Amino acid sequence: MTDVSNDPTESQPKPRVLLVYYSFTGQSRGVLEAAGDVFRERGCEVDAAPIEFTDPRFADNFSRFPMKRVWRDMFSVLPAQSRKVSGEIRTPDEVRTGDYDLVCIGSPTWWKDASMPIRSFLQSDEAKTTLSGKSFAVFVVCRRYWRENMDAVRTMGEQRGGRMLGGIHFTYPGGQVRSMLSLTSFLGSGQYRERYLGVRIPPTNVQPQQLDEARLFAAQLLDQWSAQTQANN
C-alpha cells in the first residue's frame, strides 16, 4: 500500500484515508474536502466521517445555522469547554468499520481549545479503533487560537494509539477584536457583512488561498506517509 503516484497500477491496493471532522459552518469540512481531492488524485480511497453534536445540553443551540441567539449560543458551551469535558455525539460507521492508513482530523477551535465534539470523539473507544497503530494529521480551523487545539488533538490522538504525521492551521483575517466581530456577525446572520455593531470588519472564515494551502499540505502528507511506509517495509 505504498504506491501513491498519479498512476497507480490496478494490482496495488489503494491507500485508504479517513476524513473525520466536526463542522458547524462548513469550514473544517471545506479544508478537508480540498485535501480529499488531492488524496483521490494521488490514487487513494477516501471516506468522510462527519461528527454530529447530539448532546442534549447544547445540541439545540448548534442545530441551526445561522444561530438564533448568537452570543447566548456561543457562550452556552464555555463552562464545559473550560473544564475540557466531553459530550454526546453521533459518528458514521466509517470510524468503526474501516481500516485506514491515514486519518485526517478537522478540528475547529472553541474557546481556545479543541471543540467538544472533537474531544468527545477522541476520548471514545471508537477513536481507539480508528487510530490505534495508524498515522494521523490535524487540520485546525480557528479565529485566532490554534496551538492549544492542535496540542490537545495530538495528545488525545496519541493516547488512542495513533502516530501524528503533521498538522496545519488556518486562522481567520483580522486582529483579536475585529475577527471576533466578523465571526459573530457571520454566525448570527449567515452572511458576510462590511460592518457589525458599527465597526468595519474584515472577511471571516477560510479564504481561497488557504484551501490551496490545504491541498499542498495533503500532497506533502501523502509523500511523508509513503516514505515512512517504505522505510518500515
Report the DSSP beta bridge partners of residue 164: 136
pTM of the model: 0.92
Q: Cα separation of 192 and 148, whole Å?
A: 28
pLDDT at position 47 is 98
- pLDDT tens figures, 93-108: 999 988 999 999 999 9
pLDDT at position 4 is 53
Contact 192, 186 (CB under 8 A): yes
pLDDT at position 118 is 98
What is the CA angle 159-88-80, rounded to 5? 80
- Residue appearing with cell numbers 468503526: 96
Q: Cα separation of 153 and 197, whole Å?
A: 35
pLDDT at position 98 is 85
- pLDDT tens figures, 126-174: 999 999 999 999 999 999 999 999 999 999 999 999 999 999 999 999 9
pLDDT at position 12 is 62
Q: Is residue 146 classed as helix, strand or coil in its secondary structure? A: coil
Cβ neighbors of 166 (< 8 A, separation 6 or more) are: 137, 138, 217, 220, 221, 224
Cell of 189: 446572520
CA distances for 80 relative to 12, 95, 109, 162, 210, angstroms: 47, 25, 14, 26, 30
Please name which of 11, 5, 67, 12 lies closest in space to residue 39, comparing C-alpha atoms.
5
What residue ranges in 26-76 does DSSP mark as E strands?
Answer: 45-50, 52-53
Cβ neighbors of 59 (< 8 A, separation 6 or more) are: 53, 88
Domain ranges of the chain: 16-172+206-222
* DSSP secondary structure, 175-194, as one string: -HHHHHHHHHHHHHHSS--S
Radius of gyration of the chain (CA): 18
Give every residue of the chain whose pLDDT is below 50, as ranges. Answer: 1-3, 5, 7-11
Topology given in CATH for the domain delimited by 16-172+206-222: Rossmann fold (3.40.50)
What's the DSSP call for residue 51?
P
Neighbour-count burial of 62, counting CB atoms closer than 10 A to its CB (0-12 exposed, 13-18 middle, 19+ buried) = buried
Residue type, 139: F
